[in-house]
Amino acid sequence: MKKLILSTAALALTAGMAMADTVRMGTEGAYPPWNFINDSGEVDGFERELGDELCKRAELTCEWVTNEWDSIIPNLVSGNYDTIIAGMSITDERDEVIDFTQNYSQPDPSAYMAMTDDVDLSGGVIAAQTGTIQAAFVAASGATLVEFSSPDETIAAVRNGEADAVLADKSYLAPIADENDDLMLLSKEELIGGGVGMGVRESDGELKAKFDAAIQSMKDDGSLNALIEKWEIGATF
């Protein structure tokens, strides 16, 4: 699914976790149904439920930390939290900076949302969130890319005429299109990225192994597929 962050500063940063008693789970909290802040002010969504279950199976005590997307990798590397569980697609570029567990979701189709169905996707103005795989895709496509720091701002750009369409994960855009008569999903979709995994520091091999085993156990017993279906994330395993 989503999000490509390239940070030259992060390349120079290293940090060790030393397997602390409490594992801090870093997420964005602004990308439903993957992760969001509920009415009680708590992290909620597919990744909250998944993360809590992974921590239980790995016999780890976990707490949740929110961080803005554009600095989520540097703040992992510098030690502000111990994992990224934030709808982050596994890409070669990111894997140069951090390490990933095995994927816990299949590659999620990216969709276009617009106010009309006659948008020129190859030559028009397309909005995407900064640092995402969608932004990189648009930049390479020949269309004009306009980037925004939050998903909400990409939607607003379409509504106010700054962009002809927005490209983002279909699982994020579909509920918005369903709830708003002035917005529609276009038929064209893009398959970008290699599925979503948890990000960890490259020095935290033991933590990665614990979460890898927990993810595999959820795949094996069908509970991961049940969560994917519950939150309508995409294709099951």
- Of 128, 141, 107, 132, nearest to 233 (Cα)? 107
Secondary structure of the chain as H, E, C letters: CCCCCCCHHHHCCCCCCCCCCEEEEEECCEECCCEEECCCCCEECHHHHHHHHHHHHCCCEEEEEECCHHHHHHHHHCCCCCEECCCCECCHHHHCCCEEEEEEECCCEEEEEECCCCCCCCCCEEEEECCCHHHHHHHHHCCEEEEECCHHHHHHHHHCCCCCEEEEEHHHHHHHHHHCCCCEEEEEEEECCCCEEEEECCCCHHHHHHHHHHHHHHHHHCHHHHHHHHCCCCCCC
**56-92: buried (b, 16+ CB within 10 Å) or exposed (e) per residue?**
ebbebebebbbbebbbbbbbbbeeebbbbbbbbbbbe
> How much is the pLDDT for 16?
42
Per-residue pLDDT tens for 116-132?
A: 999 999 999 999 999 99
> How much is the pLDDT for 1?
55
In angstroms, the CA 116 to CA 3 distance is 26
> How much is the pLDDT for 74?
97
Per-residue pLDDT of the chain (237 residues; tens, 9 = 90+): 544 444 433 333 334 444 457 999 999 999 999 999 999 999 999 999 999 999 999 999 999 999 999 999 999 999 999 999 999 999 888 999 999 999 999 887 899 999 999 999 999 999 999 999 999 999 999 899 999 999 999 999 999 999 999 999 998 999 999 999 999 999 999 988 789 999 999 999 999 999 999 999 999 999 999 999 999 988 899
Q: Whole-angstrom distance between the N-terminal and C-terminal Cα of the chain? A: 15
Encoded tokens for 62: 């976990």
Q: Would you say 142 and 128 are in contact if contact means Cβ atoms under 8 Å apart?
A: no
Encoded tokens for 149: 């720091």
> How much is the pLDDT for 10?
38
